[in-house]
Amino acid sequence: MAGERIFTRDFTLDTIISFCCSLNYFTLLINITGFASLEFGADPAAGGTAAGIYVIGGLISRVLIGKYVELIGRKKLLIAGLALALVMSASYFLVTSMLMLYAVRFVHGMAYGLSSTCTSDIVAKLVPPGRRGEGLGYFFLSITFACAIGPLLGMTLGASEDYDAVFTVGLVMYTIALLLALAIRVPEETLTEEQAAEARSFRPSSLFQRSALPLAMTVMVFYFAYSGVLSFISDYAEEIGMVEAATYFYLAVAAGTLVSRIYAGRIYDAKGPNAVMLPAYLGFMVGMAIFATTSSAALFLASGFVIGIGVSIVFSICQSIVVSKSPPRRYGVTTSTFSALNDLGTGVGPTVLGVLITAVGYRYMYLTCVFVAFVSLLMYWFIHGRRYGGMPGREIRQESD
């Protein structure tokens, strides 16, 4: 197994494409509410809608378009998604109203959802099955580095209210991604007439991969808890006097993610998911508890490091499991199912947790997120960990459609 190559030419190109898309996502995420407020006098609710409607667009595209990945072709859809994202990146310069901003954000989210579904599907085909956990871990470092660089770049540009520069980042990133997509060589599926007819239909089985749903819902609950950090860290840091430390928080998260992805995939492939998932859940809950209660900048950043380890392992290992259980011709539907439910947790979480903040405050909201993460742990245990947690990742086999 160790002799099977992960870092091929096309794996590297796909990873860079993913990085470019994710960097633009995080750079924009930091700034879109500020842009809406400065240009159109939008209140926080309207600015939040401009941020959240992007996720909704991505969710819809994953569900409706993911099933066409094998039917139309991975490379064709990747190029289409990147081209549309490039057009939408240019459209920000032309926005003249909040309604137009909502429309651009929604379509941009759809383009991002399509592009990211394709890159995840492509890498699932490129990575050797016996090293899938390790390979996907390396691939998702593209998002890790984007998560570290994007917010810093976004905050730097946003501090001077240079939103034209923010939008230019998107133009540059998607231009690079599109050029690389034209050069990538992608394995494609040959479907039978029956399989093609199923892909064209709109039955639930054509939109979702059944074997992926249980663990996808587990990650949805987990990301519901994590969304509290993603959405409210700036306001929380201001309330507890950690504004300067918060600037480096995502670097700490990225460092934790980097460390975990160096070893977690290999352990999963060799010893099974429980060897990494149970410590990851425990670390995430401890990190969230520290995050919710600390008054120390050092502990604040340490919590980010531990949270980063937990988030990266839970996401990448669960995705490795659901891909391994899926027939190769259903990889597109599988990754779209998994990512769509992840988006749902990330999108719904801030709304529900925002209401909770008004009732109990930030600290108790984050402590509640510890309990939500524990619920996700129980789901993982009863869905997969109790029976299959000791099975090496390389031995997981596909289930029936």
| pLDDT at site 24 | 94
Q: Which residue has the higher pLDDT, 332 or 77?
A: 77
Q: Is 272 left (phi over 0), alpha (psi -120 to 50) or beta?
A: left
Domains belonging to the chain, first-starting first, are 8-201 (1.20.1250.20), 208-401 (1.20.1250.20)
Least Cα distance to 202 among 64, 58, 61, 400 occurs for 64
Tens of pLDDT, residue by residue over 239-298, are: 899 888 887 888 898 899 888 877 888 898 889 999 999 999 999 999 999 999 999 999
Residue 1: the pLDDT is: 47
Q: Which amino acid is at 271?
A: K
Give the pLDDT band of residue 238 (cuts 50, 70, 90).
confident
Percent of the chain with pLDDT over 90: 43
Average pLDDT, the chain: 86
Closest CA to 216 of 75, 73, 93, 314: 314
Asked if residues 143 and 253 have their Cβ atoms less than 8 Å apart, the reply is no
Asked whether residue 395 carries a pLDDT value surpassing 80, the answer given is no
Residue 141's pLDDT band, with cuts at 50, 70 and 90, is confident
Question: What is the rounded distance in angstroms from the CA atom of residue 147 to the CA atom of residue 378?
Answer: 28
Using 50, 70 and 90 to split pLDDT, how confident is the model at 224? very high
* 291/299 Cα distance (integer angstroms): 8
Task: Give one DSSP letter per residue of 24-79, joined into a string.
Answer: HHHHHHHHHHHHHHHHH---HHHHHHHHHHHHHHHHHHHHHHGGGHHHH-HHHHHH
Contact residues for 339 (Cβ-Cβ < 8 A; gap 6+): 58, 62, 113, 116, 117, 120
Average the pLDDT over 108-112 and give the result. Answer: 95
Percentages (nearest 5) of helix, strand, coil residues in the chain: 85, 0, 15
Mean pLDDT of 341-351: 82
Q: Which pLDDT tens digit goes with each residue over 284-312?
A: 999 999 999 999 999 999 999 999 999 98
Q: Does residue 19 sit in helix, strand or coil? A: helix
Question: Where do we find the tokens 């209660």?
Answer: 293
Identify which of 193, 216, 159, 132 has the alpha carbon closest to the alpha carbon of residue 30.
Answer: 159
User: Distance (Å, rounded) from C-alpha 134 to C-alpha 114?
Assistant: 24
What is the crossing angle of helices 9-40 and 44-65, to 10°? 150
Instruction: Give yes or no for residue 400 having a pLDDT over 60.
Output: no
Block residue for tokens 């459209």: 91
pLDDT score of 401 more than 60: no
Tell me how far apart the alpha carbons of residues 158 and 162 are, in angstroms, rounded to a whole number: 6
Residue 127 has pLDDT above 80, yes or no: yes
Structure confidence at residue 59 (pLDDT):
84
Is-contact 285 277, C-beta < 8 A? no
pTM: 0.78
CA pair distance 317, 267, nearest whole angstrom: 10
Say if CB 158 and CB 28 are below 8 A apart. no
pLDDT of residue 23: 94
